[in-house]
Chain A
Amino acid sequence: MRDGMAVVKLDSGYNIGVPPASCTLSERPLPVPPKQLDVVQNRSLPTLAIVSTGGTIASRIDYRTGSVTSQFNASDILTAIPELKEIANYRTIPLATILSENMTPAIWQELARAVHAEIKNGAKGVIVTHGTDTMAYSAAAISFMIDTPVPIVFVGSQRSADRPSSDNAMNAVCAAAAATGDLGEVVVIMHATTNDDTCAIHRGTRVRKMHSSRRDAFRSLGVDPIGVVEYPSRKVSLATGAVRRGKRTLALHDKLDPHCALIQFYPGMSPDLLKAYEDYHGIVIAGTGLGHTGTALIPPLKQLVEGGTLVIMTTQCMNGRVCDRVYDTGRDLLDAGVIEGGDMLPEAALVKLMWVLANEKDKTKAAVLMQTDLKGEYMSRSAHGL
């Protein structure tokens, strides 16, 4: 049924909608779904773990709504993308089947624990399949929660896996190639351009979804991608700045303080809105330009700070860093106790704030941590040419 109409599939394969009253229901046995083939794996290849959370890389039609939804588990991915078998053998962990807009800090924590367990269990790398909408948040969250000696690769697709042109297969193959490679940090691997020839490797704390639908939506901001994977050769090239395998020692710090918020300032924004955040432990503001809000917001922000809320200023420009020492408004914000967030992306700053506040109860020390680079999210130099 769809909008009050019964959807009928004709022998020709076409669907049409007809009024239910004009239909007679004739029972017939449900079509038997083809048996899933056992995935034969090559044990001599390195072992990777695929943790699936849902998203477009593994989605198919939902008969209830007629729209695309996530239903596959990681094993289905291997059946759909046989090339993966040439790269590694896989353990698959179906963690969640959600669209990424339904992601929560609690699931980030579950994800961190699952990924950590896999690495501890000998996985040479971990692939996390994830919806693209909030993939950057999750990648940042895992960056802070796990010190990893092996690659943790987030991958998804922008065009649904149920279409022949989907970017899912190439992205997954490139992700697997990088996950067996020399990397030692949390990254996002997606199409570098609209072409099916190269994927970019983005640092998990510097990446952002910059287009609603294109394959090459993911971009590193304020920094070059830390590597590329060519397709179909699967050749992985890493930049000198990329953290290498084995550099860090495995550790899990899975505490998060979810009482944090990200607020985008806009002209005319009412100071009253900030009242809703009185109980919050931390707030990231995506301010204008060098890191500003309207002056009307400064008194309530000051109140929040005095009430014990840590307030971090970032810029909605996305590119460039905050500097609240140039204009009066900025200086007033600093006087009110607002902390400059450097060149951190607003989303990465939010996730970091959750992590910092959970791990450091002293507000002054927490503020210092917010201005300290932990996982490549806070850069002291603004490189030119980007």
Chain B
Amino acid sequence: MDYKALGLVAGIEIHQQLDTREKLFCHCPTILREIAEHNGEFCRYLRATVSEMGEIDRAAKEEMKHDRMFRYYAYDTTCLVENDEEPPAPVNDEALAVCLTIGKMFSMTPVPQVHTMRKLVIDGSNTSGFQRTALVAFNGALPDGGQIETICLEEEAAQRVKDEVFSLDRLGIPLVEITTSPCMHSPEEVQKVAEYIGMVLRSTGKVKRGLGTIRQDVNISIARGARVEIKGVQELDLIAEVVRREVQRQQCLLTIRDELRKRGAVVDAATGVEITSLFKETKSAVLKKAKKIHAITLKGFGGLVGREIQPERRLGSEMSDYAKKCGVGGIFHTDELPAYGVTAEEVAHLRTHMHAGEQDCVILVAGASEKQASCAISQVILRAKLALSDKPVPEETRKMLESGSTAYMRPLPGAARMYPETDVLPVLIDNTRWDAVVIPELLTAKAERFVAAYEIERNYALQLAASEKLPLFEQAVTEGIRPKLAVFTILSTTTELRRDGVDIRQIPDRAYLDTWHAVESGSAAREAVPDILRSIAGGSTFAEALTKLAPAVSREELEIIVRRIVTERADFIAEKGRSALGPLMGIVMAEVRGSVDGKVVSGILKSAIEAAVSPKKP
């Protein structure tokens, strides 16, 4: 696909959780909890408020279409601030410092005085109904000429448990939001930039790691389409695919519009009627259950509502997403009927009743009330009109589905959703503070340094630099551990243990260091490392694991063992000479059960054999 010719323009927003000791606006720890551990819950409603400019944000209005009661789980690691029962604490300075560091790494300009804002979000993910966010720095540069527009410090939202239930452990964890300019023109470029920014973030050593700790939002448009923001791309590998699919969707919507116009399609809201009685005897569970069913005939839309615009997505899916905002489960359209318990006869009857011709499509919505059904059908009409309009690609916020396709969430928010956070005082960033910000070494530079200094292979060095265990490695080297031993354990041994189902998160860094020191001093064999770590992960202390798996054998004891074995196998040695070393190694190692490093054993054994085969001195 020629993305250049299509006029693809893309930008990304990266949201990265920071690994600070406390949350952004309270003194709770930034740890995630198991849902079962919650020790309190409460319920709330949220309602959209007017901005300081006197408007209600269009995205917030959309979320308000039906009243929803939200339920929240609280923990012994959350407080009244997360409950929206206490004013926020001042901005966490540790988080602000990380944010400034990142800003400086991208050569940005700091804001002289940082003002915290409230970004209206009433989908329940914030107990307050807004997300606190502050613009910290702007105008940054990417190495290939792209631009970083802004970096903001924000609070993380609550995690949705299911439906309208949220868990408060995540709410308030500091996040940085990095926004690039729309400077990318191909799907691969978007992915590359996201990877680079991720690497820079990890270089600070102050960001959280693991799934869900970094999320990418992608802004995409093509020349004849519109700007669409796709939220929540968690896997980096999917970014390029998401961009490809969005381009496909926008192109298809444009094609559908042209086709609709050629057919002379019209959306006449007046053709919308209530047809509940038509389905009185239906076998369709959804329609049977509905209190009210509304329908509309879309003239000229036949076959196009069911046309695929992205894998597993049709124009009908878009209409359905709009209708869902009123609380209905979705829509039915004649392009996909008969199905879902609706019979061919019912469809024929419906078509006649609705005066629908071959080229027309009838849309049905089933609501639990008149209000819900009429709300849903008006949303369908709204979306159908958009499909036919001069701008058939609506500006939207969309969410990523598993495969990389997307679904409609809400209109793009406007500036109307920003309101000053009156409970947080502004923070000055003066020259002294900015000048004192130290830029950490980039992980890529670090990897190069490892290659040069420790003779580690380049791909290992890159893996190591990106590893969560990098600080452990650096500590090990400082303590005199051979780099290769540490690297092998960190990259290879732990991977094998994890594959075996060992919970390696249970192994403290100190235990790694103790184990390596034991190997280096000869009190444990290199071969015993996996078993020692496995035992520690299972709950043993390092000392217990060492005694159990590598009972201490002193050099003297080892020499006695070697001497005894050499004496016992004197005939074998006489026969094999120096090549007896290999077989005898196995015998000695079995006897010392991994408590002595192989190298040490081989050294002693070698000289003992040497002595045995050398001609006796007179």
Seen from chain A, the residues whose Cβ lies within 8 Å of a Cβ on chain B are: 2-3, 5, 7, 10-19, 31, 33-34, 60-61, 66-68, 80, 158-166, 169-170, 193-197, 213-215, 232
List 17 interface pairs A-B (beta carbons < 8 Å), by A numbering.
A3-B428, A13-B119, A14-B115, A14-B134, A15-B115, A15-B117, A16-B114, A17-B426, A19-B112, A80-B49, A159-B84, A162-B419, A164-B46, A195-B42, A197-B43, A213-B85, A213-B87
B415 engages A13 (CB within 8 Å): yes
Q: A194 and B83 in contact (CB under 8 A), knowing A15-B420, A33-B54, A162-B419?
A: yes
B415 engages A195 (CB within 8 Å): no
Report the minimum CB–CB distance from A198 to chain B (whole Å). Answer: 11
Q: A163 and B130 in contact (CB under 8 A), knowing A14-B135, A16-B111, A16-B112?
A: yes
Q: A5 and B54 in contact (CB under 8 A), knowing A61-B419, A164-B49, A164-B129?
A: no
Does residue B572 face the partner (Cβ distance < 8 Å to A)? no
Chain B residues within 8 Å of A164, by CB: 46-49, 60, 120, 122, 128-130
Does residue B127 face the partner (Cβ distance < 8 Å to A)? yes
One of A13, A166, A195, A197 near B418 (C-beta < 8 A): A13
Report the minimum CB–CB distance from B45 to chain A (whole Å). Answer: 5
One of A31, A169, A194 near B85 (C-beta < 8 A): A194
Chain A residues within 8 Å of B86, by CB: 213-214
- Mask, B106-120, CB within 8 Å of A = 1, is 000001111101111
Does residue B55 face the partner (Cβ distance < 8 Å to A)? yes
Assembly CA distance A14 to B54 (angstroms): 16
Q: A34 and B55 in contact (CB under 8 A), knowing A16-B115, A194-B85?
A: yes
B49 engages A162 (CB within 8 Å): yes
A5 engages B85 (CB within 8 Å): no
Assembly CA distance A31 to B53 (angstroms): 8
Q: A196 and B69 in contact (CB under 8 A), knowing A61-B52, A61-B419, A163-B128?
A: yes
Chain A residues within 8 Å of B54, by CB: 31, 33-34
Report the minimum CB–CB distance from A384 to chain B (whole Å). Answer: 28
Report the minimum CB–CB distance from B434 to chain A (whole Å). Answer: 14
Apart from the given pairs A14-B150, A162-B49, 4 other A-B contacts in the complex at a CB distance below 8 Å: A13-B119, A15-B418, A158-B85, A163-B118
Does residue B21 face the partner (Cβ distance < 8 Å to A)? no
Report the minimum CB–CB distance from B27 to chain A (whole Å). Answer: 15
Within 8 A of A (CB), among B401-437: 414-420, 422, 426, 428
One of B49, B130, B420 near A66 (C-beta < 8 A): B420
**CB closest chain-B residue, reference A159:** B84
Q: A16 and B422 in contact (CB under 8 A), knowing A61-B52, A194-B83?
A: no
Report the minimum CB–CB distance from A58 to chain B (whole Å). Answer: 12
Report the minimum CB–CB distance from B345 to chain A (whole Å). Answer: 42
B52 engages A215 (CB within 8 Å): no
Chain B residues within 8 Å of A16, by CB: 111-115, 135
Chain B residues within 8 Å of A194, by CB: 42, 83, 85
Report the minimum CB–CB distance from A219 to chain B (whole Å). Answer: 15
Interface size class of B (residues with CB under 8 A): 35 or more
A196 engages B49 (CB within 8 Å): no
Assembly CA distance A203 to B225 (angstroms): 62
Does residue B349 face the partner (Cβ distance < 8 Å to A)? no
Report the minimum CB–CB distance from B59 to chain A (whole Å). Answer: 12
A7 engages B115 (CB within 8 Å): yes
Report the minimum CB–CB distance from A383 to chain B (whole Å). Answer: 29
Does residue B142 face the partner (Cβ distance < 8 Å to A)? no
Report the minimum CB–CB distance from A120 to chain B (whole Å). Answer: 35
Q: Which of B84, B118, B129 has most A Cβ within 10 Å?
A: B84
Q: Which of A7, A169, A196, A232 has most B Cβ within 10 Å?
A: A196
One of A3, A61, A163 near B129 (C-beta < 8 A): A163
Q: A17 and B113 in contact (CB under 8 A), knowing A5-B426, A170-B45, A196-B43?
A: yes
Assembly CA distance A263 to B60 (angstroms): 49
Report the minimum CB–CB distance from B526 to chain A (whole Å). Answer: 56
A17 engages B112 (CB within 8 Å): yes
Chain B residues within 8 Å of A60, by CB: 52
Assembly CA distance A2 to B112 (angstroms): 12
Q: Which of B67, B69, B113 has most A Cβ within 10 Å?
A: B113
Does residue B80 face the partner (Cβ distance < 8 Å to A)? yes
Chain A residues within 8 Å of B289, by CB: none
Q: A3 and B419 in contact (CB under 8 A), knowing A163-B49, A164-B47, A164-B48?
A: no
Chain A residues within 8 Å of B422, by CB: 61, 66-68, 160, 162
What 6 pairs between A and B have smallest CB-CB spacing?
Answer: A164-B129, A17-B113, A13-B418, A13-B415, A15-B115, A14-B135
**CB closest chain-B residue, reference A31:** B53
Within 8 A of A (CB), among B21-67: 42-49, 52-55, 60, 67
Q: A14 and B83 in contact (CB under 8 A), knowing A3-B426, A164-B46, A164-B122?
A: no
B426 engages A61 (CB within 8 Å): no
One of A13, A17, A80 near B417 (C-beta < 8 A): A13
Chain A residues within 8 Å of B80, by CB: 213-214
Chain B residues within 8 Å of A18, by CB: 111-113
Chain B residues within 8 Å of A214, by CB: 80, 85-86
Chain B residues within 8 Å of A12, by CB: 135, 150, 415, 418
Report the minimum CB–CB distance from B283 to chain A (whole Å). Answer: 36
Chain A residues within 8 Å of B44, by CB: 165, 195-196
Q: A13 and B420 in contact (CB under 8 A), knowing A165-B84, A165-B128, A165-B129?
A: no
Assembly CA distance A232 to B69 (angstroms): 10
Report the minimum CB–CB distance from A1 to chain B (whole Å). Answer: 11
Assembly CA distance A196 to B133 (angstroms): 26
Assembly CA distance A31 to B52 (angstroms): 11
Assembly CA distance A197 to B71 (angstroms): 12
Q: Which of B60, B85, B120, B428 has most A Cβ within 10 Å?
A: B85
Chain B residues within 8 Å of A161, by CB: 49
Assembly CA distance A161 to B112 (angstroms): 30
Chain A residues within 8 Å of B134, by CB: 14
One of B47, B414, B415 near A169 (C-beta < 8 A): B47
**CB closest chain-A residue, reference B136:** A16
**CB closest chain-B residue, reference A19:** B112
Assembly CA distance A151 to B207 (angstroms): 57
Assembly CA distance A234 to B423 (angstroms): 32
